[in-house]
Amino acid sequence: MSCFTEIILLKGNYTMSLLKKITSFIHREGWKFASISLITSLFLLFISTPLATIGFLLTFFIIWFFRDPDRKTPNIKNKIISPADGKICLIDKAKPPKELLMDSKEMFRICVFMNVFNVHINRSPVKGTIREIVYKEGQFLNASLDKASEKNERNSLVIETEDNKEIIVTQIAGLIARRILSFVNDKDKIDAGERFGLIRFGSRVDIYLPEGSKAAVKIGDTVKAGETIIGSL
């Protein structure tokens, strides 16, 4: 084998390795957007360097937005793990989303607000079985507002724990977020910290817990999906 061939193979292997690292860094939902942005930016190089620069910066932002880092989830019984990256914006008691047609009794609620710079992959707060998934169309108000939980577009999951307790996780679209994605189905088994969905471009996730649950965080605390313990059953 010639030196030239070896160099070509080495470069090819390096390129493939780099591509694997990039694709593993971002969630598959972002591959399409990143590819379109990158191809467009390369095309713009032949037209305008400033425009191409803007395109490459946009590509970088897309890759950063759709990043999907691994998380080490604590394996502690009866602990609630944060379903989203962001800040705790509300801790109170509230009735479950109406579309779930559940008992109107108030539940303990913890809300996590995500801005556009947070990781937007959502993870299950507990280990259990998904009993119901209900999507509800709605408005796109600022997700940090309390009324967003009733007015905004949302997607709710009812998860039954191994101890037969029901946890509700609601993905809420925000002022910029216009796309809620769910990766799971009814009757799926799910582990604490397992990915279950994504909300594009800033939003909020509410967790409804049964009576007697306690918060391990306070309003303003920064949390990480799949890692931070935010409460206990």
Residues of the chain with pLDDT under 70: 1-31, 142, 144, 176-178, 201-202
Q: What residues act catalytically?
A: 203
Spell out where the chain has E strands.
79-81, 86-94, 107-114, 121-123, 128-136, 154-161, 166-173, 180-182, 189-190, 195-199, 203-209, 214-215, 222-223, 229-232
pLDDT for position 120: 83
At residue 131, the pLDDT reads 93
- Radius of gyration for the chain, computed over Cα atoms and rounded to the nearest angstrom: 21
**What pLDDT, on a 0 to 100 scale, did the predictor assign at position 58?**
84
pTM: 0.77
pLDDT, tens digit (0-9, with 9 covering 90-100), for 147-180: 777 888 889 999 999 889 999 999 988 776 567 8
3-state percent helix, strand, coil for the chain, nearest multiple of 5: 25, 35, 40
The angle subtended at Cα 94 by Cα 88 and Cα 100, nearest 5°, is 110
Q: What is the pLDDT of residue 116?
A: 78
Contact 110/231 with Cβ under 8 angstroms? yes
Which residues lie across from 109 on neighbouring strands?
92, 208
Rounded to whole angstroms, how far apart are CA atoms 171 and 99? 14
pLDDT at res. 15: 44
Q: What is the pLDDT of residue 67?
A: 79
Structure tokens at 4: 């030239």
CA atoms of 33 and 35, how far apart (whole Å):
5
